[in-house]
Amino acid sequence: MQPIDSFGNAVKKLREAGKLLGYTEENITKLSTPDAVLERPITITLDSGEEKSFHGYRVQFNNARGPYKGGIRFHPNADINEVKTLALLMALKCAVVNIPLGGGKGGIQVNPKELSRAELERLSRAWVRAFFADIGPHKDIPAPDVYTNPQIMLWMVDEYSKLAGKPSPATFTGKPLENGGSEGRSFSTAQGGFYALRELGQKIGMRPRDTRIIVQGFGNAGYNIARIANAAGYRVIGVSDSKGGIVVASGKLDPEDVFQYKEAHGSLQGYTCATASCTVDENSAVTNAGLLEVDTDVLIPAALENQIRADNVDRIKTKAVVEIANGPITPEADAVLFSKGIPVVPDILANAGGVVVSYFEWDQNLKNEHWTEEEVLRKLDEIITREFAMVWLKSREKKVDMRTAAFIISTQRIAEKMGL
């Protein structure tokens, strides 16, 4: 399979939206060019006393609507093309849900599993020292991403505050609750996705109790959207992780029971039901890729990018898709699903709950406030519901898929702030 140019695909979609809006090629280029691609060495002393340098980076993509916002990933296969893509999508994501932030992404090329806790702390603090002048509560607000977590954000905000000479909790989001984090942040991506699922169901006439759901990917977001949907009465009939999955032909899975099994065994392999609505005889083991091809009402990709492609899209048997993962559908597959009348709630809307609640955390920190979980979820619900309606209406008005509609709305909002 040929490598997929994720950044090129994102720019192609932005260009399509720009052309529909009547923008010049020059203005489309401005919209699709990052403000800064920052790359710096991050050097620390290992526990052994040896000095080691790692490749650190930050991509800042359009701050016309507000400070840059986006995660920091610690990953051995850091890819600047992927990071540029995610920074662009973050700018569009913030615009489509109409919060006053731009796009950012960054991290370090490292396998954090090979570092001790002390080395990880030194690395986290060194990243802040390297990029101190480029970040800040009114400039660029990083957050957790792949292999980073609230503890790493706590080390980073502490280092930034020391360098700044004053407490600066609003410089990083995704912090522990007791250190300025927001209620609801740990499951906000899934919660926002659930609100999008609920709104889609109302538009296409799917009642929760009659709606079968398959979730590919059983990490934080996949588990939580399965859990939330199950509690709301939807039938979760299949889930998977990287090592395989499980499907029940009738009845439904209990996501909490599946989660407990995965925690105990490290994967879903060998799972057997422990609830009356899901019996052993109904179990059917599938591969992670095979799960995508199981007949369902709503398919929720919540794992990696490029899962639904030209080579498997014709075997997808679902009535709708809600993208919780970033970029799980290639442009070629998108076109096929649209031609078949299968609505896709795009990632920049469906998984925006995480950045919305990160925005809430930033806002709370700036105001020295702490909102209840109920208040956070109410505000999140209002935003996702309102912007879903905007995207749905625009898709009908322009006779385009929901992704193109979302790009039209977000591109226009950014362009207006840029004065284009």
Judgement on whether residues 222 and 135 belong to the same structural domain of the protein: no
Examine the pLDDT at 71 and tell me if it is beyond 70. yes
Judgement on whether residues 163 and 193 belong to the same structural domain of the protein: no
Average pLDDT over residues 13-42: 94
Residue 155: closest CA among 183, 130, 131, 120: 120
Q: Which residues contact 393 (CB under 8 A, 6 or more apart)?
A: none
Mean of all residue pLDDT scores within the chain: 93
Average pLDDT over residues 328-334: 92
Judgement on whether residues 212 and 125 belong to the same structural domain of the protein: no
Examine the pLDDT at 280 and tell me if it is beyond 60. no
Q: Kindly list the strands in the beta sheet with 283-286, ordered across the sheet, starting from the edge strand earlier in the chain.
A: 283-286, 244-248, 235-241, 212-216, 298-301, 320-322, 344-345
Examine the pLDDT at 73 and tell me if it is beyond 70. yes
pLDDT of residue 260: 92
Domain count within the chain: 2
The predicted-structure confidence for 361-420, as pLDDT tens digits, reads as follows 999 999 999 999 999 999 999 999 999 999 999 999 999 999 999 999 999 999 999 998
Judgement on whether residues 162 and 251 belong to the same structural domain of the protein: no
Examine the pLDDT at 282 and tell me if it is beyond 70. no
The verdict on residue 75 lying in a domain is yes
The verdict on residue 134 lying in a domain is yes
13, 93, 105, 319: the catalytic one is: 105
CB of 373 closer than 8 Å to CB of 315: no
Judgement on whether residues 207 and 253 belong to the same structural domain of the protein: yes
Average pLDDT over residues 209-235: 95
Judgement on whether residues 138 and 277 belong to the same structural domain of the protein: no
The verdict on residue 95 lying in a domain is yes
The verdict on residue 181 lying in a domain is no
Q: Which of 301, 316, 342 is the last residue of a domain?
A: 342
Judgement on whether residues 271 and 161 belong to the same structural domain of the protein: no
The verdict on residue 79 lying in a domain is yes
In CATH, what number is assigned to the domain containing residue 113? 3.40.50.10860
pLDDT of residue 153: 97
Question: Which residues share a beta bridge with 278?
Answer: 275
Higher pLDDT, 277 or 265: 265
CB of 99 closer than 8 Å to CB of 356: yes
Judgement on whether residues 113 and 229 belong to the same structural domain of the protein: no
Judgement on whether residues 209 and 314 belong to the same structural domain of the protein: yes
Q: Which of 289, 309, 342 is the last residue of a domain?
A: 342
Examine the pLDDT at 275 and tell me if it is beyond 80. no
pLDDT of residue 243: 85
Helix (H, G, I), strand (E, B) or coil at 97: coil
The verdict on residue 377 lying in a domain is no
Judgement on whether residues 164 and 194 belong to the same structural domain of the protein: no
Is 105 a residue of the active site? yes
Range of 305's domain? Answer: 187-342
Residue in the block written with tokens 């790009």: 407
Distance CA 352, CA 229 (A): 17
pLDDT of residue 29: 95
Question: Sorting pLDDT into bands at 50, 70 and 90, what band is 31?
Answer: very high
Judgement on whether residues 202 and 296 belong to the same structural domain of the protein: yes
Estimate the share of the chain in helix, then strand, then coil, as percent rounded to the nearest 5. 50, 20, 30
The verdict on residue 363 lying in a domain is no
Judgement on whether residues 163 and 216 belong to the same structural domain of the protein: no
**Stretch (H or E) spanning 201:** helix 188-204
pLDDT of residue 291: 87
pLDDT of residue 143: 95
The predicted-structure confidence for 186-198, as pLDDT tens digits, reads as follows 999 999 999 999 9
Average pLDDT over residues 326-336: 91
Residue 238: closest CA among 300, 192, 313, 281: 300
131: its two tokens: 């990029």
The verdict on residue 94 lying in a domain is yes
pLDDT of residue 279: 58
The predicted-structure confidence for 138-165, as pLDDT tens digits, reads as follows 999 999 988 899 999 999 999 999 999 9
In CATH, what number is assigned to the domain containing residue 257? 3.40.50.720
